[in-house]
Amino acid sequence: MDLLLLGPPGAGKGTQGVLIAERLGIPKFATGDLLRDAVRLGTPLGLQAKAVMESGALVSDDIIMGVVGEELRKPTAAGGVIFDGVVRTIPQAEGVAALLATLGRRIDKVLFFDVTDEEILSRIEKRRGIEGRADDDPVAVQRRLKAYREQTAPVLDWYRGRGGVTTIPAVGTVQDIADRVKQAIGA
């Protein structure tokens, strides 16, 4: 199964993605984690992405589609992938659909994690104390929310037009949300 997790930063996609990956036994593919590793290691990809990420803007679609293509070619991805934090723009949605089509696959389900801005800001503030991410500082967070509204929110309508989107109210405990996810994907 190819599953896509959509929602604003801080909506809980990463946390729920880990739980789904364990349950379904398929890899979670988080472009944010992959890029942060690249920045930490100082690879050419990391050097290209660092400043953009720290500012809270989106990394270019070309770079993202390159890493998505690499991921989908891995044998471990043959049984499906949980896309976490990618897709974030309409060109990425089109690119992922085209790549999956070459493999005879499509996004089977989209889970949209729905959460208010107030909740997001309070969660990110907590995460900042724990993880110390540079892009969790208040200025970068505002940019990330702006990028979400302007570039990623339209992706939800793109998928809604194609069916298979379930909205998960992403409030309550991790377990509450996990139970809603289980019901949505039937596993």
Closest separation in Å from C-beta 53 to ligand AMP:
4
Q: Residue 12 or residue 32: which is nearer to ligand AMP going by CB?
A: 32
Measured CA to CA in angstroms, residue 134 lies from 51, 86, 93, 129 at distances of 10, 20, 27, 11
The first and second tokens of residue 93, run together, are 């949605």
Beta strands in 45-170 (DSSP E): 82-84, 109-114, 165-169
* End-to-end Cα distance, the chain: 11
- What is the number of the residue whose Cβ is closest to ligand AMP? 32
The reply on whether position 144 binds ligand AMP by CB under 6 A is yes
Residue 155 is a binding residue for ligand AMP (CB under 6 A): no
Residues in the chain: 187
Smallest distance, Å, CB 64 to ligand AMP? Answer: 4
Task: Name residue, tokens 């929310």.
Answer: 145
- Give the residue with the Cβ less far from ligand AMP, 104 or 139: 139
Residues that bind ligand AMP (CB under 6 A): 9, 31-32, 35, 52-53, 56, 58-59, 64, 85-86, 88, 92, 135, 144
